[in-house]
Amino acid sequence: MNDIIRTLVESFGPSGCEDRIRAIIRELVEPCVDEVRVDALGNLIAHKRGTGTGKRIMLSAHMDEIGVIVSYIDEKGFVRVQPIGGVNPMLEIGGRVQFESGIVGVVSYSKLPNGAQVPGFDQLFIDVAASSRETCPVKVGETGCFLQPMIEVGGHLTSKAMDDRIGCAVLIETLRQLGTTPHDVVAVFSTQEEVGLRGATTAAFGVAPEVGIAVDVTLSPDTPEPGIKMAVGLDQGPAIKIKDGGMIATAWVKDWMIATAEANTIPYQLEVLVGGTTDARAMQTTRDGIASGCLSIPCRYVHSPSETVSLSDVQNAVKLLVAMLSAVCPAN
């Protein structure tokens, strides 16, 4: 699975610019499903037909990653950017940004305003070795994302885009391993999640599922003095979401996840996340309401260039989803 994960996490795809990552995912899922289509918002929708005795189940993992968009080039050719999604400028300093055209620049910052402790986007600049606005190889409106190869240390995988390419990897691997299923499984690789669940919002309406399950990362505050009290850590199994900042998981969907994990002795954790939300919110609140839940991959340093997950948590997430989708669900 590591090769697929590496391919996915090292690809380019900030919100609104998912064409390249979508083409990669399309090639990987096409052999495992009955049909694949792309909707107007760019969501990739892969449908595996069931035997007809189950539910219509939408799975969703977002393809997009956080990044930047060029808002201004100054007279000396330094590139100024605005964030796409929740980017912390402090975490980008000293790193590199790759733009759509392939050009790579170095991120640094100018003098902080009086009283400021950390730089904001107004102080951030990207050096692409240009000497003037006219000769700058990067243009206003171009997007960029952070450039970091994936590393693998002690069973942990680190990259700039675990959020949420690791969820995409889980869906792809689930589709690969899933044999005959009672359910009509519709796997959506959604767009523009990081700017407000926009892809999943239209995809959920279009797919009109009976059950929605998102796969996304959640915080793993098992690091020195994290400052939040949350019972989630790496290497202890995927986290079954109970609640986050935008959704309370539908009770029977959450219970279905727990019962399946127990029955198959798959390790799991229970997640109560204070802020943030996932595509599950968009699914749950579409149409006249859809029973929805979320399976989370615990992730340290979310929205940094070194998002870190545990490979065993990822593998156990696949196991759990395959087990869930292989049998009829409790609401049948």
Applying CB under 5 A, which residues contact Zn ion? 163-164, 216
Q: How far apart are the C-alpha atoms of 180 and 34, rounded to whole Å? A: 12
64 contacts which partner out of Zn ion, Co ion, none, CB within 5 to 8 A by kind? none
Q: Exactly one of 18, 173, 193, 271 is catalytic; which is it?
A: 193
Give one DSSP letter per residue of 107-118, joined into a string: EEE-PPPTT-SS
Question: What phi and psi, each to the nearest 5 degrees, are found at residue 263?
Answer: -65, -30
Q: Which of 63, 242, 254 shows the shortest CA–CA distance to 166? A: 63
Residues 136-175 that bind Co ion (CB under 5 A): 163
Verify whether residue 193 is a known catalytic residue: yes
Q: Name which of 136 and 214 has its Cβ closer to Zn ion.
A: 214
Burial class (CB in 10 A: 0-12, 13-18, 19+), 116: exposed
Rounded to a whole number of angstroms, the minimum distance from the CB of residue 299 to Zn ion is 9
100 contacts which partner out of Co ion, Zn ion, none, CB within 5 to 8 A by kind? none
In the complex, residue closest to Zn ion by CB: 164
In the complex, residue closest to Co ion by CB: 163
Q: How, if at all, do strands 67-73 and 239-243 pair?
A: unpaired
Question: What phi and psi, each to the nearest 5 degrees, are found at residue 207?
Answer: -75, -30
Q: Which of 299, 309, 24 shows the shortest CA–CA distance to 151? A: 309
Q: Name which of 18 and 216 has its Cβ closer to Zn ion.
A: 216
Rounded to a whole number of angstroms, the minimum distance from the CB of residue 195 to Co ion is 10
Q: Name which of 161 and 185 has its Cβ closer to Zn ion.
A: 161
307 contacts which partner out of Co ion, Zn ion, none, CB within 5 to 8 A by kind? none
Rounded to a whole number of angstroms, the minimum distance from the CB of residue 193 to Co ion is 7
Percent helix, strand and coil across the chain, each to the nearest 5: 25, 30, 45
Contact 307, 226 (CB under 8 A): no
Q: How far apart are the C-alpha atoms of 79 and 74, rounded to whole Å? A: 7
Q: Which amino acid, residue 202? A: T
Rounded to a whole number of angstroms, the minimum distance from the CB of residue 73 to Zn ion is 30
216 contacts which partner out of Co ion, Zn ion, none, CB within 5 to 8 A by kind? Zn ion
Q: Which of 277, 297, 293 shows the shortest CA–CA distance to 210? A: 293
Residues 29-88 that bind Co ion (CB under 5 A): none
Rounded to a whole number of angstroms, the minimum distance from the CB of residue 302 to Zn ion is 8
Q: Name which of 163 and 244 has its Cβ closer to Co ion.
A: 163
Catalytic residues: 193
Binding site for Co ion (CB under 5 A): 163
